[in-house]
Amino acid sequence: MNNQYSSSDALNFICTHPHCHPDLALRVYTSRLIGRETSLVLHGGGNTSVKATVTTLLGDQTEMLFIKGSGWDLATIEPQGFPALDLNYLRRLRTLDSLTDEEMVNQFKTHMLDSSGPNPSIETLVHAFLPHRFIDHTHADAIVTLTNMANPEPLLQSILGEKVAILPWTMPGFPLAKVIASCFESRPDIEAIILRNHGIFTFSDDAELAYGHMIHYVTLAEEYLQGSQTLKKAKSASTTDSNMRSQLDQTIILPLLRGALTIDPVSPGNIPPFLLHVRDSKIIQHCLNRNDGQKIFTTGVLTPDHVIRTKNYPLWLDLQGRDEDQAAQAISEAMTAYEQNYIHNFHAQVAARQVTRTLLDPKPRVILIPGLGIITAGVTEKAAAIAADIAEHSLLAKTLGAAIAPYQELAEEHIFDMEYWSLEQAKLQKGRPLPLAGRSALVTGGGGAIACGIGRKLLAAGAKVFLSDIDRTRLDKVCELLAREFDPARISGITMDVTDSASVHNGLQQIILCCGGLDILVPNAGLAHVATLADLEESAFRKVLDVNLLGVFQVIKAVIPIFKRQARTGHIPAHIIINSSKNVFAPGAAFGAYSASKAGAHQLGKIAALELAEIGARVNMINADGIFDDHGISSGLWDVVGPDRMRSRNLDPEGLKEYYRNRNLLKTEVLADHVGNGVVFFASGLTPTTGATLPVDGGVASAFPR
């Protein structure tokens, strides 16, 4: 690992943050250097601090501890990510014999300089009790790998030298702070403290030196591990082993997995769907194909800090040589066994401790499948990706460690303490879950105004949204607009021709490989053409039918296998919500191709409702009318129809909008967001409804469903 510290960069960072205490600016600079190294910290892991004197509102000179705030990532942390606490008061807490977690947090909050700052790290007292100005703490892969062995102290001491102290696992918080402080006081010459199964602390009164100690000791550990040649051999083999991958079809396996991940053996219907993330690099494939792979890689987490993201153990699935039916059965059986083991261990720990805890969902977050790769699950794509990063690092670390000594995981009771520790769970609890969290949705005709409104509302409800369109320019414009409001990672644009079965198939494969499956389909692609029947050309009629009717048929037909695979192993609610039209019940003159094709698509929806009810899929229709644009995104229909309607009524664009507002019973403007609200209502499954039609038109009497 290279030392990235640059004196000129550090000075420049201080100069570009003139309103920040110079020591805090240095702290931010070196924290970001640490955060860039994923082998040191992952996704909010680790913590850093600095001690500095500040002037209070009353003019007092007070020594403060600036400590990384919970929820901040070291790679991108800003000065405001370091809440300041009264250091002298925190140090006095060491005189206590005990301190509950709740009271510890209360003391942090009541002794912060700014009450609006983020919650301080749960390891604040470690940083407070040590005397050094700069303290760095990471969960370095190489260090943790070497500690996850039986009796690792002699090996670590020989590798790292005498200026490193090694401590047994201790629960974070007040107990760990007292142990570390006592350790340093007994050996004031040390430069680092290693906590078994946890990580490494380095410290100094100089920012560069504290960071340098971290890089130095982690590098020594890395060099020792890499000297075994284990990973180099794996990388070499991965480039030559042509038989490494099996013929497992991810587009079949992933929906089966998603289904199995939704069954709650304790409270049916309580577990939301999970989005999946796939890692299948050659090095991962090689590791999983080891003869001893299952034994090595189904051991516990590298550090208990990972358990809230990944659970303690991954699920191992060997599906090679199995057909779909056999794979479905193997997945269901393995998932059940995993859950039963988790629940058994939970009750054993609760009984042994005589405590009361609420059982978390027993589903695995990491699934290892030889021939396919690492599959991780999360209610959000971010959660799944975080689990994948941790799982990949763990896989490579265990590969290196296996060449030296057998892996020795932390005892089950310590893992339980961390997984069910309220301060750890608080990291994941970000308020009430959104109604469509964990769901994936496809909206066709994604380059138009209505798709923009539907996408916005699906995103606001928590779904992962895919928009498809044949026109890439229009599609990108909608995706860019939505990305200004929501996390861009939750929005994907797919070029797709709904009239081409191969194009639809390829698009759905992309979706499965991206998130594991599909839950919500919104056939929305549409084409308009203005002509009386007498003037309507057959070619134009067929073109409209191809998009508006055949296109709906193609996407519905293509998603049925996905829905069925998810349903055969689980209970993921599946929804098809067709964007029909007011014209289904109230067609317009000179609009025969559009009206007939929409009526046909509407009828297909009813038939799909009849046929898919047996797998729990619901199919409903929305009849919209009078939607012209959405935040600068025009409606393709009105781009075609508008000029004719304006000429026939002698109106300008605003006059035409006013005409349609006054035409409906509620005298209101109908927006794309209103259609989106209708889609979310159906997709949320708030009522046991299928085969229904919901008008979103302000009330057009002639178009009332009947």
Return the structure tokens found at 44.
Answer: 């909010």
Q: What angle do CA 334, 148, 213 make, to 5 degrees?
A: 135
Structure-token match 């109230």, residue found: 586
For the chain, count helices (H), then strands (E): 27, 20
The answer, yes or no, to whether residue 57 has pLDDT greater than 90, is no
State CA 527 to chain mean position distance.
Answer: 35
Closest to 320 (Cα-Cα) out of 280, 370, 278: 370
Q: In angstroms, rounded to a whole number, what is the distance separating the alpha carbons of residues 247 and 253?
A: 11
Q: In angstroms, rounded to a whole number, what is the distance separating the alpha carbons of residues 384 and 299?
A: 20
Structure letter (DSSP) for residue 701: G
The answer, yes or no, to whether residue 640 has pLDDT greater than 80, is no
The pLDDT, as a whole number, for residue 6 is 97
State whether the Cα torsion 495-499-505-506 is positive or negative: negative
Closest to 517 (Cα-Cα) out of 617, 369, 370: 617
State whether the Cα torsion 502-505-507-510 is positive or negative: negative
The answer, yes or no, to whether residue 237 has pLDDT greater than 60, is no
Q: In angstroms, rounded to a whole number, what is the distance separating the alpha carbons of residues 211 and 191?
A: 11
Q: Which three-class secondary structure state does DSSP give residue 192?
A: strand
Q: Domain 7-226 adopts which CATH fold?
A: L-fuculose-1-phosphate Aldolase (3.40.225)
- Which amino acid is located at 190 in the chain? I
The pLDDT, as a whole number, for residue 48 is 98
**Residues paired with residue 619 on neighbouring β-strands, in sequence order:** 576
Could you tell me where the beta strands, DSSP code E, fall in 56-147?
A: 61-67, 84-86, 134-138
The pLDDT, as a whole number, for residue 239 is 42
- Which are the contacts of 128, defined by CB distance < 8 A and separation ≥ 6? 65, 85, 87, 90, 91, 93, 177
Percent of the chain with pLDDT over 70: 95
* 440-697 CATH, one of 3.40.50.300, 3.40.1230.10, 2.60.40.420, 3.40.50.720: 3.40.50.720
Return the structure tokens found at 93.
Answer: 């807490």
Structure-token match 């959000």, residue found: 380
pLDDT digits (tens, 9 = 90+) for 564-574: 999 999 888 99
- Which amino acid is located at 562 in the chain? I
Structure letter (DSSP) for residue 550: I
**Furthest-apart CA pair in the chain: how many Å?**
98
The pLDDT, as a whole number, for residue 629 is 80
Q: In angstroms, rounded to a whole number, what is the distance separating the alpha carbons of residues 496 and 501?
A: 10
The pLDDT, as a whole number, for residue 240 is 41
Residues 418, 253: contact at Cβ < 8 Å?
Answer: no
Q: Was domain 244-421 assigned CATH 3.40.225.10?
A: yes
Q: Which three-class secondary structure state does DSSP give residue 66?
A: strand
Closest to 84 (Cα-Cα) out of 65, 103, 68, 107: 65
pLDDT digits (tens, 9 = 90+) for 343-368: 999 999 999 999 999 999 999 999 99
Return the structure tokens found at 149.
Answer: 């062995």
The pLDDT, as a whole number, for residue 706 is 72
Tell me the pairing of strands 520-522 and 440-443. Answer: parallel
Closest to 464 (Cα-Cα) out of 524, 384, 567, 372: 384
Percent of the chain with pLDDT over 90: 83
- Which are the contacts of 573, defined by CB distance < 8 A and separation ≥ 6? 273, 519, 616, 618, 685
The pLDDT, as a whole number, for residue 477 is 96
The pLDDT, as a whole number, for residue 243 is 45
Average pLDDT, the chain: 92
pLDDT (mean) for 546-569: 97
pLDDT digits (tens, 9 = 90+) for 184-230: 999 999 999 999 999 999 999 999 999 999 999 999 999 999 886 55
Residues 453, 630: contact at Cβ < 8 Å?
Answer: yes
- Which amino acid is located at 117 in the chain? G
**Residues paired with residue 49 on neighbouring β-strands, in sequence order:** 67, 135
The answer, yes or no, to whether residue 269 has pLDDT greater than 80, is no
The answer, yes or no, to whether residue 598 has pLDDT greater than 70, is yes
Terminal CA-CA length for the chain: 71
The pLDDT, as a whole number, for residue 486 is 97
The pLDDT, as a whole number, for residue 584 is 95
pLDDT digits (tens, 9 = 90+) for 377-402: 999 999 999 999 999 999 999 999 99
Q: In angstroms, rounded to a whole number, what is the distance separating the alpha carbons of residues 663 and 626?
A: 10
Q: In angstroms, rounded to a whole number, what is the distance separating the alpha carbons of residues 565 and 75?
A: 40
**Residues paired with residue 67 on neighbouring β-strands, in sequence order:** 49
The answer, yes or no, to whether residue 238 has pLDDT greater than 50, is no
Q: Confidence class of residue 244 from pLDDT cuts 50, 70 and 90? A: very low
Residues 367, 257: contact at Cβ < 8 Å?
Answer: yes
The pLDDT, as a whole number, for residue 631 is 80
7-226 shares its CATH topology with 244-421: yes
Higher-confidence residue: 69 or 646? 69
Q: In angstroms, rounded to a whole number, what is the distance separating the alpha carbons of residues 694 and 579?
A: 10
Residues 264, 270: contact at Cβ < 8 Å?
Answer: yes
Q: In angstroms, rounded to a whole number, what is the distance separating the alpha carbons of residues 148 and 583?
A: 67
Q: In angstroms, rounded to a whole number, what is the distance separating the alpha carbons of residues 315 and 246?
A: 19
pLDDT digits (tens, 9 = 90+) for 118-154: 999 999 999 999 999 999 999 999 999 999 999 999 9
The pLDDT, as a whole number, for residue 44 is 81
Q: In angstroms, rounded to a whole number, what is the distance separating the alpha carbons of residues 540 and 593?
A: 8
pLDDT (mean) for 32-44: 93
pLDDT (mean) for 311-332: 96
- Which amino acid is located at 499 in the chain? T
Question: 669: buried, middle or exposed (CB in 10 Å: 19+, 13-18, 0-12)?
Answer: middle
The pLDDT, as a whole number, for residue 657 is 80
Return the structure tokens found at 380.
Answer: 């959000």
pTM for the full predicted model:
0.92
Q: What angle do CA 569, 572, 575 make, to 5 degrees?
A: 130
- Which amino acid is located at 260 in the chain? A
Q: In angstroms, rounded to a whole number, what is the distance separating the alpha carbons of residues 247 and 38?
A: 32
Q: Confidence class of residue 660 from pLDDT cuts 50, 70 and 90? A: confident
The pLDDT, as a whole number, for residue 542 is 97
Residues 84, 118: contact at Cβ < 8 Å?
Answer: no
Closest to 384 (Cα-Cα) out of 446, 439, 310, 459: 310
3-state secondary structure 583-611: HHCCCCCCEHHHHHHHHHHHHHHHHHHHH
pLDDT digits (tens, 9 = 90+) for 145-170: 999 999 999 999 999 999 999 999 99
The pLDDT, as a whole number, for residue 294 is 96
Return the structure tokens found at 440.
Answer: 């994936």
The pLDDT, as a whole number, for residue 425 is 77
Structure-token match 């000129």, residue found: 8
Neighbours of 690 (CB within 10 A): 20
Domain residue spans of the chain: 7-226, 244-421, 440-697
The pLDDT, as a whole number, for residue 316 is 98
